[in-house]
Every structure is written in C-alpha cells, then in structure tokens.
Structure 1
Amino acid sequence: MILYVRYYYTKKSFALQQKLFVRTEELLRERQKTENLLSRVLPREKAKELIDQGKVDAQKFQMVTVLFADIQGFTKITDEINADSLIDQLDRLFFEFDSIVEKYGIEKIKTIGDAYMCAGGIPHPNRTNPFEVVAAAVEMMGCMQKLNQQLNNGKEIWELRIGIDTGPVIAGIVGRNKLTYDIWGTTVNIASRMESASEPGKINISENTYLVVRDLFECKFRGKIPIKNKGDVNMYFVEGFLPKFSESSRYIPNNDFRVELQLVRLADLEEFVLEKLEKGLPKNLYYHNLKHTVDVYTQVELIGRAENIPNEDLLLVRTAALFHDMGHLIDYATHEEMSVKMAHEILPRYGYTPEQIARVAEIIMATKLPPKPKNILEEIICDADLDYLGRTDFIPVSNALYKELHEHGMVGSLHDWNLIQIDFIQKHQYFTQTARRLRNVNKDVQLKNLKRWMNELENDTSL
C-alpha cells in the first residue's frame, strides 16, 4: 500500500512538472514574440528598456541629423502607373532605403505614404551622424536613378526630394495601443522645411549640416529660407561625394571616404576606451595607467604623421595605441592578449572590418617585450610605447614603473632595477627615423645620468 501511494504521488508530481515545463516554454515563446515585435517598431535598446521597466523615458540628444525624403509628384504618378505596380515599386524603393540606412547605422523613424523619415545619432550619440546621413541621402539619390533606369527605361518617373538638418532633438515613444519611436524639436522642423524647399533630384541641407560635412561632399550654396524663430537660414545643395572620395559615380563612396569617416568615429571610440580605463584600471598601476595610454596614443599620431603613413594606417596604429594596455582591465601578465580579445569584441561596433581588426591585433602584440616589429606600424607603436626612455621626465616615470613591477613581485630592489634599466637602455634602439631624431640624444643623457648615479651610490657604499 505504501509503495502504491508513493507511486501515485510521484506520478502526479511528474505530470505537474511536465505541465509547468510546457507552460514555461509557452511563456518564453510569447516573450520572444513580444521582443521581436517591439524590436521592429522601436530601437532594440528601447524595446528592452520597455520590457524590463514597463516604460521608456524621453531623451534629449544634442547632435542628431534628421532626414526627410519625399516622392515628388506622387499624385501624378498614381495616374500613370497601375496601382499594384505602383505599390510594388514603392516597396522596392523603401526596401533599398532601409538597406542604406541600416548600413550607415541610422535610425528609421517612419514612413507616411510616399514620405520617408530617418535620423542619425540616436539612440546612441555619435560625432559621425551628419556625414552618415548625408552619405545615405546621396546613395538614396543614386538608388532612385538606378530604379528609374531599371523600371522605366531611364525616364524620370520617380523623383526624390530630400531635406536635412543637424541639431538637438527630443526622442521618445508615443502611442498606447500602437507604439512608435519618434523625435521632436526645431531640428525636425528645419529638416522638414529643407525638404519642402528642395527640388526634384536634389538634397537640400541647412548650414548646420553643411559646416560639418563640407570637406567630404560637393556642396553648392542655393540661397536662404526664412524660418520662424530662426531668421534666414542658409541652404546648400549636395551634389554628391567629392571626386577624391567617390568611385566612378559621384553617388558611390570609395575607401578613402570610409577611412575619413572612421577617423571621425575614432573620437567616439577614444572617449569610450579612456572612460573604461579611467574607471576600471587597478589603482596599483602606477605606470600602465590612463596617462600612459594617452601618451602612447598622442605619440603614435605624432610619429605616424612625421613618417607620412597613409590615413588608414594612421587610423589602425592610433586604434592599437588606444587598446594596447586595455587588457590590464582583465589580467596583468597577459594584458596584450586580453587587449586583442577586447579589440575583437569592441571594434566591430565602430565600423572596423575583420581585416582592419586583424591588423590592429598584430600591432598590439608588437608591444610585447622585447620589441620585434615587422613593419612600420609596429615600429611606430614600439617607439611610442618606450618614448619615456628619451624624455626629460624619464626618472619619475622609471620610478613609477619600478613601484608597479615591485608590487607585482616582478623586480627586487631599486638597485637591481637600475641595473636592469641600464642594460635595457644600452641594448634598446628606436626604430623610426622620427623617434631617433626626437629621443636618441636625451636617451643617451639619461643613460649617462643613471650610470653616474649608480657609480656614486656604489662609491658611497664602499666607503
């Protein structure tokens, strides 16, 4: 009887567990459906915030670039094209726009009929959004021409009009039953006015945007427009990428443009990395601290420009300098390897290609002692990393390095350390002509000072 009771309750418990498991699976699937649905209408971060907190607070962004695009004469087109064909063509056009917007990391806000609205610099602030939005606009124009060529034998049936402005906006979620992510403010109003004042086949930008992007795009002044509470605002037509930044067509950017964009984006990466180092580095890193990273980052740019390396190489070596000691956030002994790991995790978010990341990783590993650089970029970072050997502040920097190594159990007495320093400096050589010209003389002075100080110390000891 006892065995039967045990069997009965065990069976019942198992059945309840099975029901609980099935119900849990159903709830997880429903949650996933909700997250997927929200991510289609809201930025992914805002969708997660809404699910976790049940609400999303409005945010103010200081620099956002807003784009309005409108199909010119859409009503006329509806009279000339079959309705089904019209919708198919419009869907195809907006699909192409979505692809361009996604490529540049721009947030699509909404489409209303034949109008398309997007904005760069939200929900993640950045410095590159004016360039990215204008580049997207140029590619949209190229896409429109291509579509006309394919569907209408080159006849300009679809004509696009674009307006853009850069400035502060308020962003938030509106609606109860149907949630949408939207933006408000003077910048949105000016961008809308830029679009309405534009012309078919033209990109009309405000002076706010022009002052940022004029070095990368071909722009033409086209007059002023009165705007309420702003007075007269200058307007410019964007004709396309500057010839040196475009392929055979002015609507297609070349690699030089992408590198220029990455160099602007480097300022965002710099801010991110330095903040991580400032907050996260252990307090007993007296040498491998934030100041050392800033010193190396500054010096690689100085040496790189003096050595006249190409812009993309300058980008990569500066990036490697930012990351070369970031691994100290994880581990002291293997910080170079940890730095490489962090570079692989972080750099894709800043538009680096796999090939660029691989080169950055090689440059970082070149800082591992003893230095054995294999190319000019590795030579530059090795020289920048040991720049202090030939600086006037050599003694205090050397003492900071000794204190750090001593606390980590990697060096003995100060006397032993100075002997190591003398031996290291005697064998050390700078690799680049720039570093040799800037630091060799003072490095020899520091070596003589160390030897003299050691001799005086030994004579005092013998007495």
Structure 2
Amino acid sequence: MKEFLNIKKEVLSKLESDLPSSLKYHDMSHIMDVYDVCNQYIDRLKLPEQEACELRIGALMHDIGFTQGNSNHEEVGAKMAEEILRKHNVGQHCIESVQGLILATKIPQSPTNELQKILCDADLDYLGRDDYPEISSKLFEELKISNVIQTEEEWKNIQVRFLKAHQFHTDFAKKNREPKKQYWLRMIENS
C-alpha cells in the first residue's frame, strides 16, 4: 500500500504528542515492540503484502485510543483508525480489517481470524519472554498511577489471575512463548 509510510508517520506523530505521560506501559516502547513482533510474524509466515500492511497499521494503531483516555480505548481507537485511514483514501475492506485488529486486542482477547490472532499474541508477547519482569513492572506502575491498584499484593493476584486466564492464539506463541509464561506464573505464585 503506497500510503503506508504516510499513515505510519501520522500515527507515530499523534502517539508521540498525545499519549499521556502517565502511561508507563501503554507507551511508545510498547507500541513499537508490538510492531516489531508483528514484523517478525510477517517475515516468518511470509504474509502477502496487503495482509502485512493491515497488520502493521493495526499494530501501530492498536492503542491509539489511549490518546483520548483509558476507557473503551479499543472502540475509540477503532473510530480514530477509520478517520485516519479515510483521510488517506484507504479502502473499506482495509479499514474494517484494521478496526477488527484493534478491537480484537480488548481483554479478554477475542481474535476471529489469523491477523487478529497474530496481533493479539504480539500485544502480549512479553508474557512469554525474558523481559517480562521489567515490562510487567511498567504496567504495575501505570495501574498504581491510575489508582486501579494500590499494593504489591493486589498486583501479584492480578498477575496470577491474568496469566492463568490468558491463552496464546498462534502456533508460534503456543510453542515459543507459553513455556516461559508458565515459568513466570510459577515464579509469581511462589514469591
């Protein structure tokens, strides 16, 4: 898609200027991590150009709704995606695909197609990586700032519940991320 670079530039500019500084987890480093993980899936699966483009746009925009606030950020982000993509003369099919990608990342995740499964797994890829402690501590800080939680004990309970309920969707993540996620769950439970 020839407009991709212009869309990417606009979205990154909006995110950099409008994401609240109180977001310690849902920040540019998270968005770029998800984008990079999606690119790894694109290469590994040799996705066709159109699908790759939709996935990249979905990755860049999956948390854009946070620029308008925390509540229903996926729905807000899906509306924002439509406005931005229409401005760049993107076709309706692509707009609907990107909106579906954004909405699929809402917790609990509910992907209904392969691209959505990839983005959902990319969004939570860190759950099964070595950098889980550092990244989860950023989420803890963000939740404390927003008064969602107050104590380490609350955070521990949330993590245990979340890790137990969470399921990866792609074969890659099931094989390469699930074992480490189970390791982190055991570590938290035994701490």
TM (norm. structure 2) is 0.93
Q: Which among 73, 86, 95 is matched to residue 335 of structure 1?
A: 73
Larger mean CA deviation between 325-334 and 302-311 belongs to: 302-311
Q: Deviations for 1:322-344, whole angstroms, at most 9, x for unmatched residues?
A: 11111111121121111111111
AA of the residue aligned to 2:47: I
Q: Which has the larger radius of gyration?
A: 1
Partners of 1:424 and 1:281 lie apart in 2 by 25
Q: Which residue of 2 aligns with 1:293?
A: 31
Partner letter of residue 347 of structure 1?
Answer: L
Q: Which residue of 1 aligns with 2:169?
A: 431
Greater RCO (CA < 8 Å, at least 6 residues apart): 2
RMSD: 1.5
Instruction: Identify unmatched segments of 5+ residues in structure 1.
Output: 1-261, 454-463
Question: What are the ranges of 5 or more consecutive residues in structure 2 without an aligned counterpart?
Answer: none
| Structure 2 Cα separation of the partners of residues 363 and 395 of structure 1 | 27
C-alpha displacement of 1:408: 1.6
CA drift at 1:309: 3.0
Within the candidate set 100, 117, 133, 1:395 is matched to 133
How far apart are residue 320 of structure 1 and its match?
0.9
The number of aligned residues is 191
- Is residue 306–residue 434 contact of structure 1 (8 Å, CA) maintained in 2? no
Residue number among 42, 48, 51 corresponding to 1:310 in the alignment:
48
Aligned to 1:284: 22
**Does 2:127 match 1:384?**
no
**Counterpart Cα distance in 2 of 1:369 and 1:402:** 17
Cα distance in 1 for partners of 2:127, 2:74 equals 21
Q: Structure 1: how far apart are the matches of 2:183 and 2:189?
A: 10
Determine the structure 2 residue equivalent to 1:374.
112
What is the deviation of 1:412? Answer: 3.4
| Distance change in 2, residues 1:416/1:442 (3 Å) | same
Post-superposition shift, 1:311?
2.0
In 2, the alpha carbon distance for the partners of 1:403 and 1:356 equals 35
CA distance in structure 1 between the partners assigned to 2:186 and 2:140 by the alignment: 19
Aligned: 1:347 with 2:82: no
**Contact 2:65-2:74 within 8 A present in 1 as well:** yes
